[in-house]
Amino acid sequence: MNLSVLKESVNFLNLLFDNVTSAVYLVNQEARVVAFNDAFEALFQKSDDKILGELCGNVIGCMYAVEENKDCGTTRNCSQCSLRNSILKAATEKIPTYKDLLVRDFYINNLKITKYFQFTTKDLEFQNETLILVILDDITALKMSELQLQEKNQKLAEYNKQLNYMMSVVAHDLRNPLGAIRSFAQLFSQSCDQFDDAERQDIFKTIVNGTNSCLNMLDDLLDYSRFEAGKIEFKIDRHDYLSVINHVVNINSILAKNKNINIIKEFEFKELMLMIDPSRMEQVIGNLLSNAIKYSPEGTEIKVIIRRENGWIKTEVIDQGPGITAEDQKELFKPFRRANVRTTGGESSTGLGLAIARNIINHHGGKIGVESEVGKGSNFYFYLPLKPIKESDGN
């Protein structure tokens, strides 16, 4: 095959031009298109009469030219356009541009689409006229894949950070009760006869409390991990919501008596049927009441209020504790986050209860939040929809 003959063959050059997968076109010094290949026409979805002789930015559907209804070269962005500037540089200074990046919204078939183009510009001399060769490669799919990969890597890094933090918190929080259990067990085994009945009861109580603290933490960890994996089952059906709340309040009232705390109920309804998973709702209200008791001083009151508000049922747990700073409030519903205040009776907390409560309320189609002011107590509240949500026996 004679290569020199091929190079001089117009048909061969046209064949080569139209079979290149890159969008290739030629513009004159005014940036008007004078030639283009099939790939260019396919990419921008325009016919010959809307391409030839038209300005580059108008042909390719530049968002600025379309939205401002102006010619390429006269929009507010033209002076900053890397493609236009490279064309002008090639035309006036004979300086080529290789594989530069253009990211912009373009109108293709009247649809606004974000595109990532890699482009090259090079000046050519043809019949005593300077033309600019422009080669465009649509790398949008590649860039989107890269961005998705970056997002996944960022989420993975955040997950690893959270996991490391979780491990440090769990190790710290388990160490204290386990250490106490071991110390008292060793003390009791070595000197059992030296303790009277009351002292033995105190030792057993300390061991039981420490064990319960460890078990509660493990239960919260398992619940949270199941939520994160989407493996928590909800059994949502029509139930008397007030009966569920009353049951939890009665249980926590016994605990509150140890600190001389009075739990007051203010219900707008005598009966209230809602679509809920009763065991999960007990978990939510139980966590809010337990926290209120932990952080409330002795001799104070905790209010549980249930009322209608704009098509929702609002449940509030209001305490007279130390209150929470605005900065801490932003972090409270994240896993392993705790307010920078101490419990009033030395009680422990896993830092997972509110994160679990948020997941449960979200699953019921509701929303949860807190209002608090330092020195004036806290109001933890959540909304449940009055209208039934879709029943679900699974996730």
Average the pLDDT over 231-254 and give the result: 90
- How confident is the model at residue 221, as a pLDDT? 76
* Residue 386 DSSP label: S
Residue 97 has pLDDT above 90, yes or no: yes
Regarding predicted confidence, which is higher, 385 or 351?
385
Domains along the sequence of the chain with CATH:
3-138 (3.30.450.20), 140-231 (1.10.287.130), 234-395 (3.30.565.10)
339 vs 390, residue with greater confidence: 339
For the cut 80, the answer to whether the pLDDT of residue 327 exceeds it is yes
Mean pLDDT of 203-217: 76
pLDDT value, residue 208: 81
What percent of the chain has a predicted confidence (pLDDT) above 70?
A: 87
pTM: 0.54
d(CA 46, CA 60): 9
For residue 65, what pLDDT band results from cuts at 50, 70 and 90?
very high
Q: What percent of the chain has pLDDT over 90?
A: 54
pLDDT per position as a tens digit, 123-151: 999 888 899 999 999 999 999 999 999 99
Give me the pLDDT at residue 340, please. Answer: 65
In terms of average pLDDT, the best of 66-70, 216-220, 257-261, 268-272 is 66-70
Q: 309 falls in which pLDDT band (50, 70, 90)?
A: very high
Q: Which of 182-186, 223-227, 293-297 has the highest mean pLDDT?
A: 293-297
- One DSSP character per residue, 33-66 reads EEEE-HHHHHHHT--GGGTTTSBHHHHTTBHHHH
pLDDT exceeds cutoff 60 at 2: no
Residues 328-370 pLDDT 10s: 888 888 876 666 666 665 555 566 788 889 999 999 999 999 9
What integer pLDDT is reported at residue 393 of this predicted model? Answer: 41
Q: How far is CA 159 from CA 149, 193, 315, in A?
A: 15, 51, 32
pLDDT of residue 74: 96
